[in-house]
Structures are given as structure tokens and as C-alpha cells.
Amino acid sequence: MSTSPVNRLRRLAVPLLALTALLLPTVPVPASAAPAATSAECAPPAAPNVPGARVLSVTAQAKPAGVIESPWFPPIAYPALCEIKVTLTHPGVNDNVLVAAWLPRAGWNGRFQGVGGGGYSMGNFDFGLAMALRDGYAAATTNGGVGDDGLSPASWALGPDGKVNEELLTNFSSRSLHDMAVVGKAVTAAHYGRPAGYAYWNGCSTGGRQGLMNAQRYPGDYDGILAAAPAISMPRFLVADLWGQVVMRQEKVLPTNCEFEAFQQAAIKACDTLDGVADGVLEQPLRCRYDPAALIGQKIQCEGKEITISRATAEVVRKIWAGHPSWSALPKSAPFSVVADTQPGPSGKRVGVPNPIADNWVRYFVEENPDFTLDTVTYRDFNRIAAKSPAKLDRFIGTDNPDLSAFRRAGGKMITWHGWTDPIIFAQGTTDYRDRVEHRMGGAARVDDFYRVFLAPGVDHCGGGTGPAPVDPLGALTKWVEQGKAPETLPAATQSPTGTPITRNLCRYPQTSHYDGKGDPNQATSYHCTR
């Protein structure tokens, strides 16, 4: 049974980390300056000094080894730990922020890891911390004072006056990230009697955006940043995620999800061999020029019935693939199931189901109206919303400043990887940002010295899909930071539907992978990177 789009979004809001670390076990690179340590004590340290904030409480609790279960991912076994919780507030804000740190009782690798969030959740208090602890890290995450509902900011987005709560939005976008780094590193040092040798950020989606914000605004907080599928330019891409819903409503055509899948698969089939091999994965989906009109008149089986693809449905697909001028469009290799989901309504008539994260962004932050609905939004209304969102909110959470000179001066290294079939945060936002960083900071060679981007063909949001996803991007980052070994490629892996192992080496942007024409197309050694 396929996972519904809403459950897929919920999945994103739960793990809240660079999820592809789950594909294969990670093997952390030993930190030579920080040998393993043990600690039998679990006592609350003195309240850390957090600039701009007042610490309200510090507690500590010893916890035994355990296993974190998830309905979507393999279980995570973690060792015994000391959990330290710090609550703080920012004077004049009236907020209550929790920072939680998990510190391994034995086998600490000498490193600290900041754990990123997803959706409207700033952090991950179980799954993400368990993953970091499993690999020997001392780790911390925070709720930023905004709770942990990944799909909706309803509990905090608007103040008593019905306007955007700018202080809590500031917590969510930036301020609480620095507080968490300060607190997490301080309690780690107090617990082990010495500071961590290296500090790393690890996040995907919102966590990827947080990684970029760390590099842009707090360049000294982390030695290495893994910012996967980053939610760059939230005020733009979240509105763009609603374009398909507006198109369907305005054209009064709501195709079934299997009709949309027919167009996606037809495009993949038509463009599959552009990269030299027919494997169901588009290496460069933006090169695909498939015309949806080619499917008009085709008959497909859909929900137990035979459906003939209509001209009106093909036109809706054309408009969705064309996108809105305010942002990049859904790649033709990506599923429609987030941006153009439809379901049978109460009366049996199909209704559009918007991406809840995007819908709530417009509802609460742009329109400041909890009762707002897309049902009456015209193309003209959508133009207004698309312009209003960044004009109003970029200053808080745009996270697209291309000036990373302070991060470079601090000696930081950053890796971003992004799936080319990501149906929520289109990968073009990442490539556009990298291009602008190059323009600002002296070209590709200079930027490659500290910031590298890798695209994963066929991979969905933070993992999944048909293509190979990175096996251990955090391990590649630690080697770069601690051993000076900059990654030329990222090893990636998946399995075919029949269980055949498939490997690739994801190429450093702007290079792409090309089949050599004679080797095993399932093996990375049969491909080379080329411009």
C-alpha cells in the first residue's frame, strides 16, 4: 500500500535529520585529538552562560541503553546516556525554550553534534539524538520555544493581536540555533571535563536550512555542516508548492493521483537514456523535454477503472511542470503526490489536498488568517501571495545570503546533498544558491575549498525514491574537516525492486554522472563524472 502524502510529510516531521544515514550503518572517523572517554556520573552542570538569554533550569537524568522504533525506518539502538535538559527564556519575549543534550556514558568520540529539525519542528528529541548517540557523538537539539508539531505552527505563529509572532519566528529561524550550540557545547564540556574536539551540524529539510543559517549567521558554531535538502527561501518555495493546487482549482480539473503518476512515468521513460543508460532514473531531469500532450488519449487503469487521459488533464500537468515565475518548478522526474494531491471528498467528488506545511505557511505567516483556504484563490490572488510572502518574511527566514566569507574565515566546511526528485523542496533552489555563492565569493574553485554540493538523481526528499542516496555524508564531512580530504564524490546506494544492490558515486556539482557504456550499470565503477 502506498503511503499517503500527508503521512509522507509526517514522516519528514518525525526523523528530522539527514535520514539517509539509515540506509547503511555509519562508521564515524575517530577524532585523533579526542580519545574515547567514560563518565559514570550524571549530574546537572552549572547553568551555562547564554548571551541574550536567561537560564531557568538545568536538570540531569541517567537513561539506560534502548531502541528507538519508527514506522518508517529501521530501529535505532543507542547506548546508556546522561540526558541534560536546559530551559531558558529571552527577556521581553516571554518564551520558554528547551535544549536537550544526550551524552553517551561511555565511548564518546570526542565530537559534538547539533541535531536539526523538520517541517515546523526545530529539533528531534528522540530519533535524531539516538542516531547521533549511536555513532558516539554528544548531541543536542532544541524546540526553540515553538513546540514539536512538524506540520502546523498554529500554536505559536500568531500573537494575541492576530499578527505574526515575530519573536518566536526569530527563534525558529535563527536565534535558538545559536542558543542550542552554546548550551550543547557547554554541557558537553562540563560533563566530560573538556570541550569537544570538533562540532558538527547534521540536518535535512528544515534541518538543512538550519545548517545554512548557522553558516551564514553563526559561522563559528560548527566546524562542519551537513545541510541536506535545505529549505532555502522558505517564503518562496512553500508558496510554489501550492501552485499545482491553484492550477487544478482554476482549471476545474482534479486528476487522480494515478493519472499524475502516469505522466511522471511517461516523462522518465521518454528521457531515461539521456544519461547513457536505461535505469528509470534521470541524471539531469531539467534536460527532459517530454510534452504531456503525448499522453492524450492513452488509456490507463486507475482505481479499478479504465481512464482515458484527457487534453484538460494534460494541460494541468503542463502548467504544473511549467511552474510559477516566482520559483522553480517541479522536476519532471518527481512525483506529484505532494504538490498536486487529490482525494475523494465527502460527497465522492475529488478535492485537492494541499501540502499542509505550505498551506499553513500561507494561512498563518502570509495571510495571518487561520481560516484561509485555497478554494477561492485565483491566479491573480496567487501572484499577490507569491510576491507578499518573501517581501514580508525573507528578512526572518530567507536563509539565502550568499556571503559565506565569515564561515570560510572560521575554517568551516559544508556539504549539501539534494535529491533530484524531491517533490517538496525542489533541488533547483540548492543549485541556484550554490551558483550565487560562487558569484559572490570568487568562483567555483574558491567555493569548493569549503562548500560542496552533490545532487542525487532519483532520490526523493531526504531519502527514498528509486535512485541511490548517500551512504555516509557525515563521515565524508568529518574526513574533510579533520583530515583535509575534500570529497570529490559521495558514495551512494540503494536496491532495485528485486533486491539487487545498486551503487553510484554522486558527482560534485556541477558535474554529472555518465555511464561508460560497457560496465555493469548497477555498479558505481561503470560511471564517471563529467561536465
Contacts of 500 (CB under 8 A, 6+ apart): 522
Q: How many CB atoms lie within 10 A of CB 345?
A: 12
DSSP conformation class of 468: -
pLDDT digits (tens, 9 = 90+) for 474-496: 999 999 999 999 999 999 999 99
- Taking Cα atoms as reference points, which of 497, 364, 407, 33 lies closest to residue 218? 407
CA–centroid distance for 122 within its chain: 12
| 23 to 10, 18, 283, 469: CA distances (angstroms) | 19, 11, 21, 8
Instruction: Count Cβ atoms within 10 A of the Cβ of residue 193 and give its class: 0-12 exposed, 13-18 middle, 19 or more buried.
Output: exposed
Residue 35 within any structural domain of the chain: no
Give the pLDDT band of residue 1 (cuts 50, 70, 90). very low
Among 395, 429, 454, identify where a domain stops. Answer: 395
How much of the chain is in helix, strand and coil states, percent to nearest 5?
Answer: 35, 20, 45
Task: Verify that 289 and 374 share a domain, yes or no.
Answer: yes
Q: How far apart are CA 188 and CA 193, in angstroms?
A: 8
**CATH number of the domain that residue 450 is part of:** 3.40.50
Task: Verify that 120 and 216 share a domain, yes or no.
Answer: no
pLDDT digits (tens, 9 = 90+) for 75-130: 999 999 999 999 999 999 999 999 999 999 999 999 999 999 999 999 988 899 99
Task: Verify that 363 and 226 share a domain, yes or no.
Answer: no
Residue type present at position 500: T
Task: Verify that 387 and 411 share a domain, yes or no.
Answer: no
How many folded domains does the chain comprise? 3
Residue 36 within any structural domain of the chain: no
Residue 31 within any structural domain of the chain: no
Is pLDDT above 70 for 44? yes
DSSP annotation string for 97-127: EEEEEEEESEEE-SEEEEEP-BTTB---TTH
Q: How far apart are CA 82 and CA 64, in angstroms?
A: 9
pLDDT > 90: percent of the chain: 87
Task: Verify that 184 and 211 share a domain, yes or no.
Answer: no
Beta strands in 445-526 (DSSP E): 451-456, 469-470, 489-495, 501-507, 512-515
Q: What are phi and psi of 503, to 5 degrees?
A: -125, 150
User: Is this prediction's pTM over 0.85?
Assistant: yes
Instruction: Count Cβ atoms within 10 A of the Cβ of residue 58 and give its class: 0-12 exposed, 13-18 middle, 19 or more buried.
Output: buried
The pLDDT of 178-195, averaged and rounded, is 98
Task: Verify that 384 and 517 share a domain, yes or no.
Answer: no
Residue 32 within any structural domain of the chain: no
> What are the grid coordinates assigned to 264, written together?
511522471
Residues annotated as catalytic (active site), given as ranges: 205, 422, 461
Is pLDDT above 90 for 26? no
The pLDDT of 231-236, averaged and rounded, is 97
Give the pLDDT band of residue 264 (cuts 50, 70, 90). very high
Among 371, 395, 419, identify where a domain stops. Answer: 395
- Quote the pLDDT of residue 19: 34
Among 353, 369, 395, identify where a domain stops. Answer: 395
Residue 29 within any structural domain of the chain: no
Is pLDDT above 90 for 15? no
Is pLDDT above 60 for 518? yes
pLDDT higher for 131 or 12? 131
The residue to which cell 572517523 is assigned? 29
Residue 518 within any structural domain of the chain: yes
> What are the grid coordinates assigned to 523, written together?
555498479
Residue 142 within any structural domain of the chain: yes
Is pLDDT above 90 for 48? yes
Q: Mapping DSSP to helix (H, G, I), strand (E, B) and coil, where does residue 194 land?
A: coil
Task: Verify that 216 and 326 share a domain, yes or no.
Answer: no
Q: How far apart are CA 82 and CA 184, in angstroms?
A: 13
The residue to which cell 536538570 is assigned? 59
Q: How far apart are CA 239 and CA 237, in angstroms?
A: 5
Residue 124 within any structural domain of the chain: yes
Give the pLDDT band of residue 304 (cuts 50, 70, 90). confident
- Quote the pLDDT of residue 22: 28
The pLDDT of 411-427, averaged and rounded, is 98
For the chain, the average pLDDT equals: 92
Task: Verify that 342 and 251 share a domain, yes or no.
Answer: yes
Give the pLDDT band of residue 2 (cuts 50, 70, 90). very low
Task: Verify that 483 and 361 share a domain, yes or no.
Answer: no
> What are the grid coordinates assigned to 231, written together?
529549505
Residue 528 region by backbone torsions, left for phi larger than 0, else alpha for psi between -120 and 50, else beta:
beta
- Quote the pLDDT of residue 74: 86
Is pLDDT above 80 for 183? yes
- Quote the pLDDT of residue 70: 80
- Taking Cα atoms as reference points, which of 72, 76, 18 lies closest to residue 207? 18
Please report how many Cα atoms fall inside a 13 Å half-sphere around the Cα of residue 421, on the Cβ side. Answer: 26
Give the pLDDT band of residue 11 (cuts 50, 70, 90). very low
pLDDT digits (tens, 9 = 90+) for 128-161: 999 999 999 999 999 999 999 999 999 999 999 9
Task: Verify that 138 and 263 share a domain, yes or no.
Answer: no
H or E element in which residue 381 lies: helix 379-397
pLDDT higher for 350 or 74? 350
Residue-number span of the structural domain to which 272 is assigned? 237-395
H or E element in which residue 167 lies: helix 166-170
DSSP annotation string for 15-71: T-S-GGGGTS---PPP-TTS--EE-----PPPPPP-TT-EEEEEEEEEE--EEE--S
DSSP annotation string for 3-25: PPHHHHHHHHHTT-S-GGGGTS-
Task: Verify that 338 and 414 share a domain, yes or no.
Answer: no
> What are the grid coordinates assigned to 254, written together?
482534479
Task: Verify that 176 and 281 share a domain, yes or no.
Answer: no
Pairing of strands 97-104, 81-89: antiparallel
Q: How far apart are CA 508 and CA 426, in angstroms?
A: 18
Q: How far apart are CA 386 and CA 383, in angstroms?
A: 5
Is pLDDT above 80 for 207? yes
- Quote the pLDDT of residue 39: 46
